[in-house]
Structure 1
Amino acid sequence: MKTTTLLLAATMVTFATGSVLAADVDHSMDAQQQQSAMNMFGGPIYSGDPALDVTAALVKAGGGAEKFSFAQALVAMLGQKTVDAEVAKLTKQYGADEVNTFLSGMDAAIGFGLKRATEAGISLPEPADLSGTELAKTLVNAGTAPDSTFWSGYLFDKALSNNIHNQVMADINAKVSYEADKTTHKILNQAMYDVAQELGMKDVKLADLH
């Protein structure tokens, strides 16, 4: 059985059992953070128009809005062999529990994000004509800040907007935990940096949070 299959089998259990921390309220977005123009988990805020067609392409690669799987999207973009190797590398680096939290956290982030977008009257357009490594490169570029550092928060801002990104973080913090949210951002920083290196995007830098 492949490494990804074993990890995904435990994913929902790991994420669902996260407890809401009493201190989570201390980590909510506030006026000071907005004034600093930095995302909660580091990196600059992107306040321009979201790339909704690219988001739609990612959702399509992950099996669609109703059954989105970030692991499936990764396989669609990079191939099973590359994904298995990356999951094994991340598991050695962070441990299986944190990797499971990351994978399920990405699924939850997309789910909450699409829900919040619908509530705001935003519908995804037709997906951009992107697939495979071209989609992966586009996502790396979308999350790469002007200083060439990939930041999860910058990618999430571009995916649906900074406002919806903040709403999704509040949802995850309240329904699961701040630590699960931070782990998701942290490992995505590392994973997408690794993807960039694999795809020859050597100018992309690794975020401080990784």
Structure 2
Amino acid sequence: MKTTTLFLAATMAAFAAGPVLAADAEHSMAVQQEQTAMNMFGGAIYAGDPALAVTAALVKAGGGADDFSFASALVAMLGEETVNAEVAKLTKQYGEDEVNTFIGGMDAAIGFGLKRAAEAGVTMPEPAELSGTELAKTLVEAGTTPDGTFWSGYLFDKALSNRLHNQVMADINTNASYEADKVTHKILNQAMYDVAQALGMEDVKLAELH
């Protein structure tokens, strides 16, 4: 994962300013969603209670809240050989810059999400007893909409709530860019579809944004 670590160091500089919520950006997202009943980057909205124990398990797999690494979480779930092969595949598909943005964007999303949850008075429970491929399968299932398509926005809604997901998107849009946010959602759609296929979850469909 040395290459991935270098990717991460370069990308995270764009998020170093910390979360600053742009009220107008959040309002714009909310209006769009009310009109379309879709997440900003596609897929159905999940409006139920978040699966916080699963989110806590992901954070634990990635090294904990204070030192979370999405790359480390992937290795913990799938193994280093599988992750290196997927990073190489995604780099060939999207280019190194977008893969950098994706990995850094996932770290930023978790960091902003945990901060926003704490501000909202949400207490994270003990992690669910999930690890390895069982955790990976659970994340795929959590992000799969009723029509069988994996959408990153649906996963983020379930991980935190749709309201907190909107706040995190506004944070990323403000501290990095709209395009960085879109790239993060886009590549996560592809990556988790790839994970689903590797784990034999062949009924999972690939999102249009990928």
TM-score, scaled to structure 2 = 0.92
1:146-185 equivalence runs, <5 A: 146-185=146-185
Contact kept? 2:113, 2:168, Cα under 8 Å: yes
Match of 2:92 in 1: 92
How many residue pairs align between the two structures?
204
Over 3 Å counting, the alpha-carbon distance change for 1:107 and 1:37 in structure 2 is same
Over 3 Å counting, the alpha-carbon distance change for 1:32 and 1:90 in structure 2 is closer
Q: Distance between the aligned counterparts of 1:53 and 1:90, measured in 2?
A: 29
Once the two structures are TM-superposed, the CA of residue 71 in structure 1 deviates from its matched residue by 0.3
TM-score, scaled to structure 1 = 0.92
Alignment of 1:132 onto 2:132: yes
Once the two structures are TM-superposed, the CA of residue 33 in structure 1 deviates from its matched residue by 2.3
Match of 1:105 in 2: 105
The residue matched to 1:29 in structure 2 has which SS? helix
Letter in 1 for 2:125: P
Contact kept? 2:53, 2:128, Cα under 8 Å: yes
Match of 1:20 in 2: none
Report the identity percentage: 81
Letter in 2 for 1:154: Y
Q: Distance between the aligned counterparts of 2:6 and 2:108, measured in 1?
A: 19
Letter in 2 for 1:56: A
Match of 1:115 in 2: 115
Match of 1:197 in 2: 197
Unpaired runs of 5+ residues, structure 1, are 18-23
Q: Distance between the aligned counterparts of 1:26 and 1:9, measured in 2?
A: 28
Letter in 1 for 2:54: V
Letter in 1 for 2:53: D
| Aligned residues: CA RMSD | 1.9
Letter in 2 for 1:49: D
Q: Distance between the aligned counterparts of 2:2 and 2:113, measured in 1?
A: 29
Letter in 2 for 1:74: L
Q: Distance between the aligned counterparts of 2:139 and 2:121, measured in 1?
A: 24
Match of 1:55 in 2: 55
Q: Distance between the aligned counterparts of 2:112 and 2:60, measured in 1?
A: 16
Post-superposition Cα deviations, 1:29-48, rounded to whole Å, max 9, x if no partner, equal 14242232100000000000
Match of 1:142 in 2: 142
